[in-house]
Amino acid sequence: MNQQHQDERARIREAMDRLLTGQAATSNGSLTVVALATEAGVHRMALQKRHADLKHEFHERVRKETRQVPEPEKRLRATVARLKKTLAKKEAELEELRRQVTNLSLASAVLTAGKGASAAAAPAAENVIPFRPTTG
């Protein structure tokens, strides 16, 4: 690792300490990666890509030292809860549609069977002559 890389890592660790002790100098003091990058004076993507291990270390320290859930995890948990709710609604809707299909199929069968039975059981009118099958 070159010197610039080492300096960035040192600034990030110092920024972690400042944020976790509530002594932010250049950021808003929130316990987020954006605030950490601002506090350390590095670009957010540098923290995400080159120093991903430090980002994970920061999240772990936030969890252990402040007993708080990191912001990304809060957002993911909210998204998961929303998606579970949506999925439950869709499953209930699908079950209702399946029930309707069953009921409509049964109704169709009853109507079809009833139509044939009513035609065969209906008395022939006096002026109707039935066709005889052709022999061939």
Burial class of residue 71 (count of CB atoms within 10 Å of its CB; 0-12, 13-18, 19+): middle
Residues 6+ apart with CB under 8 A from 73: 59
134 has a pLDDT exceeding 70: no
pLDDT in tens, 15-36: 999 998 888 888 888 888 899 9
pLDDT at 121: 54
Other beta carbons less than 10 A from residue 108's beta carbon: 10
Q: If you average pLDDT over residues 107-136, what whole number do you get?
A: 70
- Per the listing, tokens 């957002």 go with 75
117 has a pLDDT exceeding 70: no
pLDDT in tens, 83-100: 999 999 999 999 999 999
d(CA 14, CA 27): 13
Phi and psi for 74 in degrees, rounded to 5? -60, -45
78 has a pLDDT exceeding 60: yes
What is the average pLDDT value for the chain, to the nearest integer?
86
d(CA 116, CA 132): 20
pLDDT at 89: 97
pLDDT at 87: 97
Cβ-defined contacts of 31-34 (< 8 Å, 24+): 31/62, 31/66, 31/68, 31/70, 31/71, 32/70, 32/71, 33/58, 33/72
- Confidence tier at 110 by pLDDT (50, 70, 90): confident
Residues 6+ apart with CB under 8 A from 55: 33, 36, 47, 48
Residue that wins the pLDDT comparison between 128 and 120? 128
Give residue limits of the domains in the chain: 3-68, 77-109
Q: If you average pLDDT over residues 38-66, what whole number do you get?
A: 90
pLDDT at 91: 97
